[in-house]
């Protein structure tokens, strides 16, 4: 039994945001997954759709919604075993540890994953990360898939933090890493191409995703973005959960 704890985001009912859904983005799009959303992020994207995990009262961060959140109302501390027991209720074939930025709590992810596997048996493990924090060697064998989403200039983050060279190099070297870039305009492609060249990321391991928090926004960008995917030999990913559920928690 482990009594170590980590910070989780909360759902609309004030419970830890642990939920079953389909994976809406990237290499596992459409697959059934149980999601565990952790609280806290070292980056602060101005269009982020989970700003309640980091844009707290008293912080200087800006966001297009211009809303600040109360930390005590938006995060809960839970033990690994409590999280594992909640995850087990969904009888998962796969889990996604997401955020926020899970790697902020990277010293605890090994214990969390171990507790979940002890409770649930063999399970596919994905971690969604912005790629700015390197994965420790102890974590890598426990993870089947890293969904790495480096943040481009239009996110509003300082590139010296968002595009950490040592960290991105470490992810690029892992065979279980897939890269996803949020694209707002055709000009963003030049930045993506520069990064794939710099870090030697094969285009078949890259997904381009339209920026958008509504179906209309996503669809508006999808047509020209799929054409860019064809032109550069990259993959297109939709935001399936946005079409199905909208921009809501626990989906």
pLDDT given for residue 3 in this prediction: 72
Alpha-carbon distances of 91 from 85, 99, 105, 112, 118, rounded to whole Å? 10, 21, 25, 16, 13
Alpha-carbon distances of 18 from 37, 89, 153, 237, rounded to whole Å? 6, 10, 31, 23
pLDDT in tens, 31-89: 999 999 999 999 999 999 999 999 999 999 999 999 999 999 999 999 999 999 999 99
pLDDT given for residue 2 in this prediction: 57
pLDDT given for residue 1 in this prediction: 55
Q: Which residues contact 68 (CB under 8 A, 6 or more apart)?
A: 55, 56, 57, 58, 59
The ranges of the chain with pLDDT < 70 are 1-2
Please tell me whether residue 156 adopts helix, strand or coil conformation.
coil
pLDDT given for residue 107 in this prediction: 93
Specify the DSSP class assigned to residue 111: H
Query: Is this model's pTM higher than 0.85 or not?
Result: yes
Torsional class of 26: left (φ above 0), alpha (ψ -120 to 50), beta (otherwise): left
């Amino acid at each position: 039994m482990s009594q170590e704890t980590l910070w989780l985001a909360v759902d609309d009912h004030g419970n830890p945001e642990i939920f079953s859904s389909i994976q809406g983005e990237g290499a596992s799009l459409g697959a059934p997954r149980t999601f565990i959303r952790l609280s806290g992020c070292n980056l602060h994207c101005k269009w982020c759709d989970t700003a309640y995990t980091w844009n707290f009262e008293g912080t200087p961060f800006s966001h297009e919604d211009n809303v600040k959140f109360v930390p005590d109302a938006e995060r809960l501390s839970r033990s690994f075993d409590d999280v594992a027991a909640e995850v087990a209720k969904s009888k998962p074939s796969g889990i996604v540890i997401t955020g926020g930025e899970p790697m902020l709590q990277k010293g605890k992810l090994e214990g969390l994953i171990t507790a979940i596997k002890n409770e649930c048996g063999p399970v596919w493990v994905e971690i969604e990360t912005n790629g700015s924090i390197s994965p420790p060697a102890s974590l890598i064998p426990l993870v089947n898939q890293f969904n790495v989403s480096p943040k481009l200039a239009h996110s509003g983050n300082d590139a010296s933090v968002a595009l950490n060279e040592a960290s991105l190099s470490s992810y690029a070297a892992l065979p279980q890493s897939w890269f996803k870039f949020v694209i707002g305009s055709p000009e963003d492609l030049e930045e993506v191409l520069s990064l794939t060249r710099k870090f030697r990321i094969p285009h078949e391991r890259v997904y381009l995703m339209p920026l958008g928090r509504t179906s209309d926004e996503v669809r508006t960008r999808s047509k020209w973005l799929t054409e860019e995917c064809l032109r550069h030999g990259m993959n297109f990913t939709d935001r399936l959960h946005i079409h199905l559920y909208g921009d809501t928690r626990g989906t």
